[in-house]
């Protein structure tokens, strides 16, 4: 019986392995006013039977209705098949009660998690790692699972001394523990903070572990000899080690290790790590592409059972090492055999692990398939619903039938981005700016929120490559580019660092002792990643950026006159965009008041003609790129507040931007009106606000004026919003 509205969600198995009761954690958006409560939602399988699930609100519309709903459930899929599930919602819809074996027991200072087959515990007062792991009643550890760092002198510090051990999430479908503290040495000294998220699922013998080490030391740089996760296991007989790549497995009755120092192939089936025996001799293969390789997982088991450990993105975040030795599996996030890791103050890095306990041997338990599946999360998809929900604003839908060349070009942007991305422990998830000179060869720190653009492209077509790019970019931003600790200036705490060599540039934009400035901070991609995946850290980091912007606004930053004479309205535009996303996520009026201050200062500085000037040497001129960002920010401010004066400033600014003052005779915008910078500006950044102006006015002249300057050099951030408007106006043609 149909009792509500329906949203189909297609779930494809991409890896080629069977997924049995595989956990899915994914956000679904709803249009404004469509859903009042998460209680009025249930999930149906392909045959129409209800699938047990948990549902939680991630964000609401201003009227209180649900904007984002996080669904958690389990699904079984055969290799390279798919299924269409259905989200049913409406006032009459109710979910069936779920009888779940997943629970947490608190006894004294101890938290014990039960999944059904698996039980593990942690101590609140003296956290020393994950303790007492039992599978089907039998202890599987010889000691606690701990992360450790070794300083430059070789002194060892382990995860200890917690400042927080808490149940972060507890539903019928997932339990997550959050642990924060300091690495502590045997003599009581401490080094680096750590953040652990430990997650478990009903009926599954797995533990997911996110381990983040954060440089909170006061020295400008601190060197580490090693960073590692140690899993001491207990066996009752002769052991066999197992690793491999794809279907090619390597078995050994003697300890071995595999290392990764560089990439043979950037991606695909040929990317893997060489294997070595305990004596250091290499395990040989047939040839270059048939050699014995490992892909970031390792299992050790006896006749009764064992343990497989998988690290996500092992190959891409080299140097790495995984080893079976002395009754433990050790994954070296930074191996001791490498040069010391020299980490700047305030930087962090996260390693994501799956710990798979099993009865019997690893091969019969398909641990290699589980490892591959862990690296390829299931991504439920319904691009039409997601884009039409309004949760992402206006985005051109996927239209290969009408615009085949345009769609090829947009797809090529993500492929090019994958080819350009940098690899390595700190660099993975970022890219390097090409060229020479002061800006040549620096780390871009994912300007201008490229993860936001990749997520939009993923939603448009359902291809996985843009999602993987967004995933890597978000984790790089959260770890490397955020100022997690500073002794230079408190204003930069929590901010996103501007681009620079080695992801770092101090005295940025002329502000002394800061590496984070308002012209280079973004929150949209982080928040969208949180809405889609449910990971709480992305939201925490995004709101930390917004809070950093509040401090800057209080100091008069992000408001004209700008600190750097060669800056213009982008210094207000990007903060308006970032704060508007934070305001939508929280409704926190602190962000609303800061936006108002920025907007009022920006409006007061607007030229009578509608633009904002900038200075390059003795020349006072205009920059379409910066004006376009400023107007996009004004549009976002208008969108979330309805402030009528913002509409006036936007339309006046667009009238100026549409004119001939910043164009060549052929209609293309210049880089800037200063003589040395009069070159064709090949980005769609100035086009984005024209799309919003068309939405609020319906005036085709805004689209016509923008198309006159369009060089067809696309970018995933600005292009998709403008192209939506051009398509809606009936003026878009295939390129």
| Residue 333 dihedral angles phi and psi, to the nearest 5° | -65, -35
Per-residue pLDDT averaged across 176-185, rounded? 96
Q: How many residues does the chain have?
A: 735
Given a contact cutoff of 8 angstroms between Cβ atoms, the answer to whether 93 and 86 are in contact is no
Given a contact cutoff of 8 angstroms between Cβ atoms, the answer to whether 541 and 482 are in contact is yes
Which residues partner with 545 through β-bridges?
none
Largest Cα–Cα separation, the chain: 84
pLDDT digits (tens, 9 = 90+) for 293-305: 899 999 999 989 9
Given a contact cutoff of 8 angstroms between Cβ atoms, the answer to whether 103 and 171 are in contact is no
Per-residue pLDDT averaged across 411-435, rounded? 94
C-alpha–C-alpha distance, residues 220 and 454, integer Å:
33
C-alpha–C-alpha distance, residues 644 and 222, integer Å:
51
pLDDT digits (tens, 9 = 90+) for 519-549: 999 999 999 999 999 999 999 999 999 999 9
Per-domain residue ranges of the chain: 5-89, 103-372, 421-557
C-alpha–C-alpha distance, residues 639 and 646, integer Å:
9
Which residues partner with 8 through β-bridges?
86
Q: How many CB atoms lie within 10 A of CB 247?
A: 8
- CA 419, 420, 423, 427 torsion-angle sign: negative
Intrachain domains 5-89 and 103-372 with the same fold:
no
Q: Which two three-digit tokens encode residue 283?
A: 């395990």
Per-residue pLDDT averaged across 137-159, rounded? 96
CATH of domain 5-89: 2.60.40.1180
Topology of the domain comprising 103-372: Beta-galactosidase; Chain A, domain 5 (2.70.98)
C-alpha–C-alpha distance, residues 119 and 135, integer Å:
7
pLDDT at 269 exceeding the cut of 90: no
Given a contact cutoff of 8 angstroms between Cβ atoms, the answer to whether 52 and 98 are in contact is yes
C-alpha pair distances (Å), 414 with each of 158, 337, 464, 465, 470: 40, 35, 10, 7, 10
pLDDT at 1 (0 to 100): 46
Computed over every residue of the chain, the mean pLDDT equals 95
C-alpha–C-alpha distance, residues 275 and 270, integer Å:
14
pLDDT digits (tens, 9 = 90+) for 357-414: 999 999 999 999 999 999 999 999 999 999 999 999 999 999 999 999 999 999 999 9
pLDDT at 123 (0 to 100): 93
């Amino acid at each position: 019986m149909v009792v509500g509205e329906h949203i189909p969600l297609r779930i494809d198995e991409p890896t080629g392995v069977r997924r049995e009761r595989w956990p899915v954690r994914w956000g679904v958006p709803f249009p404004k006013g469509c859903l009042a409560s998460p209680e009025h939602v249930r999930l149906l399988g392909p045959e129409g039977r209800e699938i047990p699930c948990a549902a939680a609100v991630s964000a609401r519309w201003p009227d209180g209705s649900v904007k984002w709903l996080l669904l958690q459930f389990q699904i079984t899929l055969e290799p390279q098949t798919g299924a269409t599930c259905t989200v049913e919602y409406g006032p009459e819809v109710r979910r069936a009660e779920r009888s779940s074996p997943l629970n947490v027991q608190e006894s004294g200072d101890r938290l014990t998690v039960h999944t059904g087959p698996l039980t593990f515990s942690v101590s609140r007062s003296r956290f020393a790692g994950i303790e007492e792991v039992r599978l089907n009643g039998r202890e599987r550890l010889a000691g606690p699972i701990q992360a450790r760092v070794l300083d430059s002198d070789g002194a060892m510090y382990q995860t200890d001394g917690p400042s927080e051990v808490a149940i972060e999430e507890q539903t019928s479908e997932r339990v997550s523990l959050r642990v924060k503290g300091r690495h502590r040495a045997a003599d009581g000294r401490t080094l680096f903070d750590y953040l652990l998220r430990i997650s478990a699922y009903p009926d599954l013998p797995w533990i997911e572990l996110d381990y983040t080490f954060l440089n909170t030391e006061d020295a400008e740089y601190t060197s580490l000899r090693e960073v590692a996760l140690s899993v001491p296991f207990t066996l009752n007989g002769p052991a066999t080690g197992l690793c491999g790549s794809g279907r090619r497995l390597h078995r050994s009755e003697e300890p071995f290790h595999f290392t990764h120092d560089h990439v043979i192939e950037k991606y695909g089936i040929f990317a893997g790590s060489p294997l070595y025996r305990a004596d250091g001799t290499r395990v040989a293969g047939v040839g270059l592409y048939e050699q014995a390789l490992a892909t970031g997982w390792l299992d050790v088991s006896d006749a009764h059972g064992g343990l497989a450990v998988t690290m996500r993105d092992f190959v891409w975040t080299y140097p790495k090492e995984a080893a079976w030795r002395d009754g433990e599996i050790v994954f070296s996030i930074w191996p001791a055999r490498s040069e010391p890791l020299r980490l700047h103050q305030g930087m962090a890095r996260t390693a994501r692990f799956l710990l798979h306990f099993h009865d019997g041997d690893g091969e019969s338990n398909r641990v290699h398939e589980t490892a591959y599946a862990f690296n390829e999360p299931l991504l439920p998809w319904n691009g039409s619903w997601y884009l039409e929900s309004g949760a992402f604003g206006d985005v051109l839908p996927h239209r290969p039938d009408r615009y085949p060349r345009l769609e090829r070009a947009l797809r090529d942007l993500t492929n090019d981005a994958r080819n350009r991305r940098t690899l390595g422990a700190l660099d993975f998830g970022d890219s390097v700016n090409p060229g020479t000179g002061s800006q040549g060869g620096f780390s871009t720190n994912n300007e201008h929120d490229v993860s936001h653009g990749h997520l939009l492209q993923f939603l448009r077509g359902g291809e996985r490559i843009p999602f993987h790019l967004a995933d890597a970019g978000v984790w790089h931003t959260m770890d490397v580019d955020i100022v997690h600790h500073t002794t230079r200036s408190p204003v930069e705490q929590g901010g996103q660092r501007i681009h620079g060599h080695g992801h770092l540039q101090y005295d940025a934009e002329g502000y002394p002792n800061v590496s984070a400035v308002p012209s280079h901070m973004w929150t949209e991609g982080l928040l969208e990643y949180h809405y889609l995946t449910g990971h709480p850290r992305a939201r925490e980091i995004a709101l930390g950026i917004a809070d950093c912007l509040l401090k800057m606004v209080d100091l008069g930053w992000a408001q004209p006159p700008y600190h750097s004479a060669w800056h213009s309205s982008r210094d207000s535009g990007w903060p308006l965009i970032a704060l508007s996303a934070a305001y939508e996520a929280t409704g926190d009026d602190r962000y609303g008041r800061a936006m108002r201050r920025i907007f009022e200062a920006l409006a007061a500085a607007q030229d009578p003609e509608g633009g904002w000037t900038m200075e390059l040497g003795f020349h006072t001129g205009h920059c379409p790129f910066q004006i376009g960002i400023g107007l996009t920010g004004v549009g976002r401010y208008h969108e979330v507040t309805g402030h009528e004066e913002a509409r006036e400033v936007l339309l006046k600014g667009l009238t100026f931007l549409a004119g001939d003052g910043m164009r060549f005779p052929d209609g293309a915008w210049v880089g800037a009106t200063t003589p040395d910078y009069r070159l064709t500006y090949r980005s769609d950044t100035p086009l984005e606000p024209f799309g919003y102006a068309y939405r609020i006015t319906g005036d085709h002249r805004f689209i016509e004026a923008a198309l006159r300057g369009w060089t067809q050099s696309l970018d995933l951030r600005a292009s998709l919003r403008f192209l939506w408007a051009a398509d809606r106006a009936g003026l878009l043609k295939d390129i």
